[in-house]
Amino acid sequence: MKSSIMHILKQSNDWVSGEYLCRELGVSRTAVWKHIRGLREDGYDIEARANLGYRLRSVPDIPYPDEVTVDLDTVVMGSRIEYYTDLPTTNGEAKKLARAGCPEGTVVVAESQSGGKGRMGRFWFSPRGRGLWFSAVLRPMVNLVETPQVTMVVAVAVALAIREHTGVAAGIKWPNDLLVEGKKICGILVELNAEMDRVNFMVAGIGLNVNIDSSQFPPELSETVTSLKIAAGHHIPRVPLLRTILQSFDFWYQRWLREGFVPVLNKWRELCVTLDCPVTVHTMKDSYVGHALDVDETGALLVQTPDGEVQRLVAGEVSLRKI
């Protein structure tokens, strides 16, 4: 009902009488008033005048499903959007929905995460209303060996959306962190639930620092992380940004399903900032220094060690060395 009232107010773009709302929606004046109050509590600025009725002055920059889906043009992404003020992690909630059979493209978004996590179980700072913390459920009909490509699909899609929407030159660090001027601005955590020859579902979690000021980061992070606001020099509305990201994600995901990994990989190479760089590699087994040469056709990083050998890295941690 709140959605319907909002829809009418948005469409009219002018005063709408209470009487009209009652008639259209088949409810009492008291009911209309109750829902208007609810919308105001949600952050919608609605003017009310005795003789004129109601007029929408502004919508809040909060990723409510009703706002995100306005003019959202996608095949699957955002097919269903679940909004929460707080979650332990959006990936956790998305996995729960996925196990229960939610449609592909279901997106879980939260204002804050109490237990936000990055790769390798690391803490991810997710303060209330200052970022886009969300997860999308995917159900690709691919082989298990192709699933790691999804992290690169997401990295490409989000980096391009950031560039297009804000002009901030986000780059990719292998395999899927987004950096701006060497500092992390976005983390991507893709999880997989599969049988050996069938993907049950994947969940792609994205944590993007949007309107966090330098002073708001925990001191131990302040040297290594940044936000779009810091990089762009101004506040960035989150709802249109999220819409752009979902559209870009949808585009690159569909393209990957249709055309395979090559177009993704080519774009990934263009956006990567850690190729032809000295790196330190940490794997589950050992650590070594080397020079990042390229990625191969599977997305593995090729690192040349000082003795000239080339190591093929399918998983692990890579840090840039300053020389």
Residues marked as binding for biotin? Answer: 89-91, 113, 184
Nearer to its own copies by C-beta: 200 or 224?
200
Closest separation between CB of residue 203 and its own copies, Å? 10
- Residues 23 and 169: their CA atoms lie apart, in Å, by 51
Phi, psi angle pair for 42, to nearest 5°: -75, -10
Closest separation between CB of residue 269 and its own copies, Å? 19
What are the residues binding its own copies (CB under 8 A)?
119-121, 141, 143-145, 147-148, 150-151, 175-176, 189-198, 200, 284, 314-316
Closest separation between CB of residue 154 and its own copies, Å? 10
Answer for the pair 188, 156: CB distance below 8 angstroms, yes or no. Answer: no
3-state class of 94 per DSSP? helix
Nearer to its own copies by C-beta: 117 or 229?
117
- Residues 158 and 189: their CA atoms lie apart, in Å, by 13
Nearer to its own copies by C-beta: 128 or 282?
282
Answer for the pair 212, 263: CB distance below 8 angstroms, yes or no. Answer: no
Closest separation between CB of residue 96 and its own copies, Å? 10
Q: Which residues are annotated as a binding site?
A: 89-91, 113, 184
Nearer to its own copies by C-beta: 23 or 122?
122
Nearer to its own copies by C-beta: 17 or 193?
193
- Residues 36 and 31: their CA atoms lie apart, in Å, by 9
Closest separation between CB of residue 298 and its own copies, Å? 8
DSSP 314: S
Closest separation between CB of residue 287 and its own copies, Å? 15
Strand partners, 43: none
| 260: Cβ contacts below 8 Å, ≥ 6 apart | none
Q: Integer distance in angstroms from the first to the last C-alpha of the chain?
A: 61
- Residues 107 and 59: their CA atoms lie apart, in Å, by 21
Answer for the pair 37, 2: CB distance below 8 angstroms, yes or no. Answer: no
Nearer to its own copies by C-beta: 193 or 305?
193
